[in-house]
Structure 1
Amino acid sequence: MLALGLEDSMVGTAYLDDEIYEPLQAAYDKVPVLSDQYPTKEQVIDAGADFLYAGWKSGFGEKGVGTPEELEELGIHTYLHTASNMTKPTLEDIFTDIRHIAEIFRVEDRGEAYIEQMTKDVEEVQAKLPKDRENLRVLVFDSGEKDVFTAGQNFMNELVTIAGGQNIFGDVESGWTTVSKEDAVDRNPEVVVIIDYGETTAEQKINFLKNDPALKEMEAVKNDRFVILPLSAASEGVRAAEAIQILAKGFYPENF
């Protein structure tokens, strides 16, 4: 919504789990923060909201604000971000969500302009990729000490592929998934993408990989090949083109 210039239509926001994208910081600062995590129904009602937009199913789950049906009875319409709640989401699915929000708030021209710019940015990145490349083997590392929490067929799989990589766990038919360290080592990634968020810093995650008896044997770790990607860029949203650029530069720095 901020990317579409809709901050004046927002009576509140909640559950910030990553730093705000710098170009949108000024717009974000205009929006009241209702809660550090999910707001209560009372907070939403007191804010005067008549529309609630959730990025994840949990927003409308038991620990969330309430079900869509409950909220509709209170006169609050709902929208669940489609792309972040499906397997194998694509850029087109992101564009669909942008169009839906733009249509709801009657700023269709802004939505199409944003999609056009994202498409152009992605095409410019892809034009710089090596033409005769063999896609790099990539491990997406979210977290994990005993096992590895990584990307299966979620949006990171799409981002890595578009950026000229091959997600080594792209054959796993789930979104985020847990795999063994041994499996990660056997598939031997050439690059590790670090998802950056929360209390554990990207540098701490890298240090863990370098010191883990098993994972330090991966080619990517031996060669110190890490790409750091903010969680909000890794998610199914308006930073997708930027994410692809970050990944491509990390995969093929000599081409950028």
Structure 2
Amino acid sequence: MTTRFVSLLCAAALLSVFAPAHARPVTIENCGVTTTWKQPPARVVTIGQHETELLLALGLKEKIVGTAVWFGALPPALQADGKGLKRLAENAPGFEAVVAQRPDLVAAQYTYHVGDQGEVATRQQFEQLGIHTWIAPADCVGKSLTAGSNGDGGRDTPFTLDLIYQEIASLATLFDVEARGKALTDALQQRVAEARRTAQAAMKPEANAKVVFWFSSTRLNGDPWVAGSAGAPGWIARTLGLTNIINTREEWPAVSWETIARSDPDYLVLASMDRRLYPADDIVQKLAFLRNDPVTREMKAVKQNHIIVVPAMSLNPSLRNVDAVEALSQRIAAFHAGS
């Protein structure tokens, strides 16, 4: 996150002190569930790093009583506020561990943690205890969880950052921090516009450059989970004028390296994470595989070292999608400057 971004958030925090509270009660519709709040939530458990980062970016660190599902470190601008947050689990927490924090709101990044077949619990189970739930709109709006592979589902409507802006506005209203929410959205929009200009200038002679986004895979020599064209990486590619060669509405399909090599992408974007559920979670192993496998080492992007490593969170629908747009635009500009 840029210095100007942090400054805008600080200014919004000051403005919100003097801003009138939103009229109560507040009614919020979220992923098919409507809840009414007489007061802003006081105790929140976040299940998903995006939800944690969003509440921190809105200046709500004192509301967070527990967190879970972490891919890696917080971005530098949020590390001070995020220091000392209670981690209930690195991955999915137990239902009892969440309830023990006495939350009045559980905010989840993914439907599969608190949806109808929730890995942690269903929304109904939480509601029976008087605990409201929130699911990131990016994981339910325009999305089908029955289509696609790997539990990530497919998208009926391509993802755009408007879903993140919608979430910012809803939570800012819920927590009576609307000025902070507007400042956060304005800062994100400015950063996207600047990154787009950087990339367009760098790639002017190179129309329709091709890209592949590799998240992980169960086996290094197996089919990788790569981003489809309708998820967050698809939006990142379109924003920068790149063509994602994986043209499917599935979010993270498994595609063979032979298929990817035939399309010979100009750039490979790799997810880096602290999580270690699968061998390809490890970025060192990813890079070694690409440079040694007889199929992948012959790809143009590998030969030219046009490999861009970004935090895994920046490839999931989140505030960090803007970080990815910036990182790719800067690296692409650097590639062209050195050519």
Secondary structure of the equivalent of 1:13? strand
Equivalent position SS for 1:220: helix
TM-score scaled by length of structure 1: 0.93
Per-residue CA deviation, residues 146-202 of structure 1 (Å, 9 max, x unaligned), is: 212100021111112212321111x21211111112110111101100111134432
Equivalent residue in structure 2 for 1:185, among 240, 250, 261: 261
> Bigger CA drift: 80-89 or 43-52?
80-89
**1:246 corresponding residue in structure 2:** 327
For the pair 1:168 / 2:245, whether they are aligned, the reply is yes
Which of 124, 132, 135 pairs up with 2:208? 135
- The one-letter code matched in structure 2 to 1:141 is W
The farther-off stretch of 22-31 and 235-244 is 22-31
Identity %: 29
For the aligned residue pairs, the C-alpha RMSD in angstroms reads 1.8
Q: Aligned partners of 2:104 and 2:337: how far apart in 1?
A: 48
1:240 is displaced (CA, Å) by: 2.0
Counterpart secondary structure, 1:249: helix
The match for 2:222 among 138, 143, 146 is: 146
Give the structure 1 partner of residue 48 of structure 2.
Answer: none
Distance 1:106 1:11 in 2: 19
Tell me by how many angstroms 1:48 deviates.
1.5
Corresponding position of 2:101: 47
Give 3-state SS (helix, strand or coil) of 2:88's partner. Answer: strand
Q: 1:80 aligns to what?
A: 135
Per-residue displacement from partner, 1:54-112 (whole Å, max 9, x unpaired)?
00112115563211111111110000111134322101111111111111111111111
> 1:115-144, CA deviations, whole angstroms, 9 ceiling, x for partnerless residues?
000000111111222245403110111234
Counterparts of 1:194 and 1:213 in 2: how far apart (Å)? 19
| In 1, Cα distance between equivalents of 2:80 and 2:264 | 42
1:125 alignment partner in structure 2: 195
Structure 2, unmatched stretches of 5+, are 1-54, 144-154
Q: Which runs of 4+ in 1 moved over 4 A?
A: none
Local SS of the residue matching 1:141: strand
Counterparts of 1:207 and 1:102 in 2: how far apart (Å)? 43
Are 2:232 and 2:321, in contact at CA under 8 Å, matched by a contact in 1?
no
In the aligned structure 2, how far is the partner of 1:255 from the partner of 1:55? 38
**Structure 1: runs of 5 or more not aligned:** none
For structure 1, which segment, 226-235 or 129-138, has the greater mean C-alpha deviation from structure 2 after superposition? 129-138
Cα distance per residue 1:3-31 (max 9 Å; x no partner)? 11111011111122222222211211242
Query: Does the 8 Å CA contact 1:165/1:251 hold for their aligned counterparts?
Result: no
Contact 2:172 2:180 in 1 (8 A): yes
Read off the aligned partner of 1:134 and give its amino acid letter: A
Distance 2:120 2:178 in 1: 28
Question: Cα gap change, 1:41/1:142 in structure 2, threshold over 3 Å: closer, same or farther?
Answer: closer
- Aligned position for 2:88: 34
* Aligned pair partner of 1:155 in 200, 208, 232: 232
Q: Distance in 2 between matches of 1:192 and 1:39?
A: 33
Mapped to 2, the partners of 1:99 and 1:9 lie a distance apart of 17
Q: How many residues align?
A: 255
CA distance in 2, matches of 1:207, 1:221: 11
- TM-score for both structures, normalised by structure 2: 0.71
Moved more, 12-21 or 149-158: 12-21
What displacement does 1:50 show?
A: 0.7
CA contact (8 A) 2:111 2:118 kept: no
- The alignment partner of 1:178 has SS state of coil
Amino acid of the structure 1 residue aligned with 2:263: R
What secondary structure sits across from 2:121 in the alignment? coil
Equivalent of residue 12 in structure 1, options 66, 72, 75: 66
**Is the 1:194–1:227 contact (alpha carbons within 8 Å) kept by the matching residues of 2?**
yes
On the 8 A contact 1:140/1:150 being kept in 2, the answer is: yes
- For 1:67, give the aligned amino acid: T
Kept in 1: contact 2:92–2:120 (CA 8 A) = yes
Counterpart for residue 23 of structure 1: 77
